[in-house]
Structure 1
C-alpha cells in the first residue's frame, strides 16, 4: 500500500487535457507528463514513488498512462506511431470532462466489445509493462562493464562516432566520450555517464557530472535505468550552466527497442470476424 498519496488515474484526466492545451494541442509523453504534474503541483516525494519494487516506472507515470488510454477511448485524445499524443477536434472543444462519465463509457465499451481489460492493456502506449519489466531486470543483471558496452553500442547506432568507454576511478563519474555528428556538417563532443539504478538520480550527482565535463566537452549525457528527481531535472537545465541531457529508464528501454538492440518486435495480425446479420435476413 502506498504511503504517499497520489491522485488516481481518473483524477489525472483533466490535468492531461490542460497540459495538452498549454503545449498547443500535442506533445510527447514526457512533455505531457511533466506539464500535467506541474498543473497539479505534485511534490518531489509523490513524483519519486515507483510503481513496483522492480523500478523503471513511477506510480505517477503509470497512472498518467491509464488516464491517456481512457481519454483516447473516449475520443478526447489520439496518438501516432511516433509516440506523439494530441487533442482530437472533440478534445479541443472540451475544456474539462466529467471523469466518472469517461470511466463509465470506457468500461461499458470494453464490456460490450470483444476486448477484456487485460487485453486492452496490451498494445496501449505506456501500459504494456511486461516487456519493459523483463528488459529492466535484464539490464540490472548486467555487470558494469557489459552495461557500458551496451551504452557504447547504442550511442554508435544513434549516430555517434569515436565512442570510447573511459570510466576509471577519480574521473568524477565520466564513463565515456564520443562525437555526435549532425547532418555531416556539425559535430559536438559529448561525454556520458551511465548508472544502473533502481532508484532516482539526485541533483548532486548531476552537479558532480557537470563539474567533470566543464572544459572537456560541448555536451553531457546522463543515462540511468532508474529515474531522475524533479530537482535533478531542474539542475540539468539550470540557467547559466552547461546543459546536460537526461535519459531515464523508460527512454533507454524505448531507444533499445527502436534500435532493435536485444529487443525484437514482431507485429501480430489478429483476425476479426464480423457477422452481417442483415445479409442473412435478406437472402
Structure 2
C-alpha cells in the first residue's frame, strides 16, 4: 500500500496523544507506522534527496500543521503533548483532519499566509491541497530539473566527436578520484591498433593498479559480443580491471556476462554517465544554490 500522506496522518497523530501524557516523538512515529501497518521496506523509503525517511518527514509535517493550529505542543525538544484545543477537537470526533479542517484555526491560517478564512490566494490554495510535504515537492522539482539536464547532456555528448568523448571519459574518471591529475592519470592508446581499448587510467595517485577504458559514443545497444571483445583485450594486457562506457545502454546478456567472468568490468550506460558528470561537475556548471535550513534547537538551550 502507498505511504499515507501527511494530511492522512493528522487525526491518528492527535488520537495517539489523547491520553494527555508527554510522548517521545520517535515513539509516536513508530506507533503511527504500526497503526498503518507499514512494512520494513516502506519504513525505509527515502525522499528523493536520500537524506530522510519519507514517512518520518510526513509525520513531521503533520506535527507542524497541528502545532500551528494550536492542537499539540512540542516546545520540549523531542516530545509531543496534546493541548486543550486538541482535546476539544477530539471530543468533536471529526472523521478527518486535513488542511481544509484546519482553516478554522487562526494560528494555522497565519502559518499558511491567509489573512482570513475566505481570502485564499491561488498559490496558497494549491499548497493546501497537495498531498506532499514541502520537501517532497521541492525534491520532485529538483529531480525533474536534473532529468532534463541529464537528457540535454547526453544529446550534447552524442554530437561530439569520438575522440572528444574518449577524453571526456578520462576527465570524468579523474574528477571521480582516479589517478590525480589529467596529465598524469590518463593516456590514450594508439588509434590504429587499440585492440578494443581506448585509454588507461591509474586507479590511484600512486599508480598501484591500472584500469583500462573502452568508450563507445553509440546510439545502439551494446551487446555481449562487444563486452567479450573488451574482456579479451584485457587478458591480452594481463589486466584485471576495466570500465566500459557508452552513451546508449547495455543488453541483458552483456550485463549477465560481466557478472560471470573473472575480470572486473564495470558497465556505465548513458544515463549513469550523465549522472556521474552532473555529480562531479564535468561538462556542467552551477547556476544557483539553495540551502534548506531548520532551527538549531540546541542553540536556544539556556544553561
TM-score by length of 1: 0.52
Deviations 1:237-270 (A, max 9, x none): 214x312111111221111112211212332469
Which of the numbers 184, 187, 190 marks the counterpart of 2:211? Answer: 190
Match of 2:204 among 165, 168, 181: 181
Residue in structure 2 matched with residue 122 of structure 1 by the alignment: 141
Show the counterpart of 1:166: 189
Matches within 5 A, 1:1-283: 77-79=45-47, 81=49, 112-113=129-130, 121-124=140-143, 128-158=146-176, 159-160=178-179, 161-181=184-204, 187-216=208-237, 217-239=239-261, 241-265=262-286, 266-268=288-290
Deviations 1:73-107 (A, max 9, x none): x97721474x58978689xxxxxxxxxxxxxxxxx
Q: Give the drift of 1:164.
A: 0.5
State the shift of 1:188 in Å: 1.7
Structure 1 counterpart SS, 2:283: coil
Kindly tell me: are residues 170 and 259 of structure 1, through their superposed partners in 2, closer, same or farther at Cα, counting changes over 3 Å? Answer: same
- Asked whether the equivalents of residues 121 and 128 of structure 1 are also in contact (C-alpha less than 8 Å), the reply is no
Whether the 8 Å CA contact 1:188–1:218 is kept in 2: the answer is: no
The alpha-carbon deviation at position 156 of structure 1 amounts to 2.0
Unaligned runs of at least 5 residues, structure 1: 1-9, 14-73, 91-108, 271-283
Write the distance in 1 (CA, Å) between the matches of 2:244 and 2:267. 5
Q: Name the structure where strand makes up a greater proportion of residues.
A: 1
Shift of 1:118: 9.9
Q: Distance in 2 between matches of 1:268 and 1:130?
A: 19
Gaps of 5+ in 2: 3-41, 58-125, 293-303
> SS state of the match for residue 192, structure 2?
coil
Partner SS state of residue 245, structure 2: strand
Corresponding residue for residue 61 of structure 1:
none
CA contact (8 A) 2:218 2:247 kept: yes
Cα separation, partners in 2 of 1:172 and 1:86, compared to 1, 3 Å: farther
Where relative contact order (Cα < 8 A, 6+ residues apart) is larger, the structure is: 1
Q: How far apart are 1:170 and its partner, in Å?
A: 3.5
Give the whole-Å Cα distance in 2 for the aligned partners of 1:162 and 1:264. 23
What SS does structure 2 have at the residue aligned with 1:134?
helix
Larger-Rg structure: 2
Task: After TM superposition, give the deviation of residue 148 of structure 1 in Å.
Answer: 1.2
TM-score (norm 2): 0.49
Partners of 1:85 and 1:203 in 2: how far apart? Answer: 39
Distance across 2 between alignment mates of 1:204 and 1:80: 36
SS at match of 1:164: strand
Cα offset for 1:172?
Answer: 2.8
Distance change >3 Å, CA 234–CA 119, structure 1 → 2? same
What is the distance in 2 between the residues matched to 1:85 and 1:228? Answer: 32
Alpha-carbon contact 1:167-1:173 (below 8 Å) kept = no
